[in-house]
């Protein structure tokens, strides 16, 4: 059952109309299958359409052609069975930390008492107990990011978490700490994570599999297994036996595409 297709993108094409009015192909025949319970990273050169695929899983962007499926259902409208963590923390600045974490539960009609206790429980797990009453602008970037992740995880009616370069804007140390926290929060929950990044080390540290995108128009170039044992030590991941083989193999794939993107941009 673990290997059964859970989230699927089948023969996806996406055409964007540029400002000048000309149509440009952004995705070409993307075929991607996410397994239930896995941590999948999408990696590729910038502008290759990884985030667009994520937006399609969320039902916020419709493919120009092809089909998105989630647990057998065809996604034609907003997909409320997923949680979405964006690159910016996107907290509501007029809500306290606690009220921000309760937001999704509020939208789903969970009773106030339960909402509160679940939110507090999650905040405790990421060390934010005691910060419930603060407003986002009173927190550091790392703390805001924790709140943003926790407000997505707290809704247990979603079985897929989509993350769009969530750690991109953070400094290197905070990034590592949050990667570690994310793995702890996720481990053993059975939830599926699709995580967009352009940091290869991050992808290897976190994921079970890595899907490599080609340069634009984006397609899946390859999907590689990351069979490093769990639980993983993200702080010393590059010392883990097997790391450099995986890194070199994927970097070879990736380098070609990055060079192509650079050539395209220069042209």
Residues forming the site for another protein (CB under 8 A): 55, 58-60, 78-80, 82-84, 86, 88, 90, 92-96, 103-104, 106-108, 135, 137, 155
Q: Which of 82/176 has CB closer to another protein?
A: 82
End-to-end CA distance of the chain: 47
| Stretch (H or E) spanning 153 | helix 141-153
Minimum distance, C-beta of residue 6 to another protein, in the bound complex (Å): 17
The nearest distance, CB 101 to another protein, in angstroms, is 12
CB closer to another protein out of 103 and 119: 103
**Residue 162 or 254: which CB sits closer to another protein?**
162
d(CA 256, CA 261): 9
Residues in Cβ contact with 69 at an 8 Å cutoff, skipping those fewer than 6 apart: 5, 7, 8, 10, 75
d(CA 55, CA 207): 20
CA distances from 199 to 20, 80, 121, 176, 196 (A): 32, 28, 31, 12, 9
Nearest distance, CB of residue 29 and another protein, angstroms: 25
Q: Based on CB atoms, which residue is closest to another protein, 191 or 224? A: 191
- Shortest gap between Cβ of 137 and another protein (angstroms)? 5
């Amino acid at each position: 059952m673990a290997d059964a297709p859970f989230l699927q993108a089948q023969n996806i094409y996406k055409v964007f109309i540029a400002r000048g009015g000309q149509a440009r192909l952004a995705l070409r025949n993307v075929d991607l299958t996410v397994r239930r319970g896995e941590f999948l990273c999408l990696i590729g050169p910038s502008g290759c359409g990884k985030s667009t695929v994520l937006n399609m899983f969320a039902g916020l962007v419709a493919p120009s052609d092809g089909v998105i499926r989630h647990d057998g259902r065809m996604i034609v409208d907003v997909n409320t069975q997923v949680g979405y963590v964006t690159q910016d923390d996107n907290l509501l600045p007029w809500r306290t930390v606690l009220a921000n974490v309760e937001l999704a539960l509020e939208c789903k009609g969970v009773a106030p008492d339960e909402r509160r206790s679940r939110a507090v429980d999650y905040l405790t797990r990421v060390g934010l107990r005691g910060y419930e009453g603060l407003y986002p602008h009173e927190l550091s970037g790392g703390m805001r990011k924790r709140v943003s992740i926790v407000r997505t995880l707290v809704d247990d009616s979603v079985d897929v978490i989509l993350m769009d370069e969530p750690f991109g804007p953070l400094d290197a140390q905070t990034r590592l700490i949050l990667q570690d926290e994310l793995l702890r929060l996720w481990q053993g929950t059975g939830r599926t994570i699709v995580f967009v990044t352009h940091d290869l080390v991050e992808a290897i540290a976190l994921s079970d599999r890595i899907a490599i995108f080609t340069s634009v128009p984006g397609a899946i170039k390859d999907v590689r297994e990351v069979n490093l044992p769990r639980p993983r030590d993200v702080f010393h991941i590059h010392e883990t036996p097997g790391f450099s083989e995986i890194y070199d193999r994927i970097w070879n794939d990736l380098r070609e595409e990055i060079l192509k993107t650079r050539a395209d941009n220069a042209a």
